[in-house]
Structure 1
Amino acid sequence: GSTIYAITDERIIMQRGILGKTYEDIPLGMVTNMSVSQSIGKRMLGYGTINFSTQGAQGRTGSIVWEAVPNPLTVRRKAQEVMDVRVKPKEE
């Protein structure tokens, strides 16, 4: 199958599928935690899984999981940079 991952200045996005498509996104402001997991084999091959956890209304939680991400620690760091810019108060 085909999977596309993207981070914009407002959202974390995942789209799966070729014929039938599944689309998930969450606003950056709802992301409460990002974690990277790599087995030893995946670490040796340079890829891993990134989990973006959210805290929603009425205490509900959710997540978007990106699997088989090349250089996952670099991707996580870039995502954190985007989030830091997004939530940082604007200077006047």
Structure 2
Amino acid sequence: MPYCTTCGAEYRSGSKFCGECGASTGAAPGHPAAANQDRSLESVLWEGKAAGISDRLKGLVGLNTTLYTLTSQRIMVKTGLIGKNIEEIELLRVNDFSVGQSIAERMLGIGTLTVFSDDASSPELLFRRIRKVQEVKDILRTAVRNEKLANNISYREQI
């Protein structure tokens, strides 16, 4: 928890004023607390659907129900027409990723992005048949690096 720079009392993250002395907690630009608040805002970096031939036909009639979303903090895969299933992985938990493309997929400009993480519920998350898969991988790689740097997490190889 953060501490007030005026009286030294501990206050809750996100508070605008100290509970002890009433001083501002630093919402001014350039203050470390303001930087933390800016980092807490989540923005969508990429969003897409499966783009194979059958997926495009499903999209014409509104049945392409899988939505992939990459934000500045997490990855989400939403599936389902009537009932919804949402899988999420925090970017801090991502370990690695790979891209796979068959010959037919290369001709269509699509591929599968596999995200490997230490998340217990979904250690492998697949983005199947997405357009410009290499560009999406690069966006994901940059987002993971930025999130880990912002949270002072470094890579370590285990022997």
- The residue number in structure 1 matching 2:144 is 83
Cα deviation, 1:7-47, whole Å, max 9, x if unaligned, reads 11111110011211111001111111110100011011100
**Which runs of structure 2 are paired with 1:4-83 in the superposition (5 Å)?**
4-56=67-119, 62-83=123-144
Percent identity, aligned pairs only? 28
Structure 1 residues 74 and 61 mapped into 2: Cα distance closer, same or farther (>3 Å)?
A: same
Gaps of 5+ in 2: 1-63, 152-159
Q: Which runs of structure 1 show a deviation greater than 2 angstroms over 4 or more consecutive aligned residues?
A: none
How far did 1:67 drift? 0.4
Relative contact order (alpha carbons < 8 A, sep ≥ 6): 1 or 2 greater? Answer: 1
Larger Rg: 2
Note closer, same or farther for the CA distance 1:55–1:61 as it changes in structure 2 (3 Å cut).
Answer: farther
Deviation at 1:56, TM superposition (A): 4.2
Per the normalisation by structure 2, the TM-score is 0.51
Q: Which has the higher strand share?
A: 1
* Alpha-carbon separation, structure 1, partners of 2:107 and 2:135: 15
Superposed CA RMSD in Å reads: 1.9
Equivalent residues, number: 88
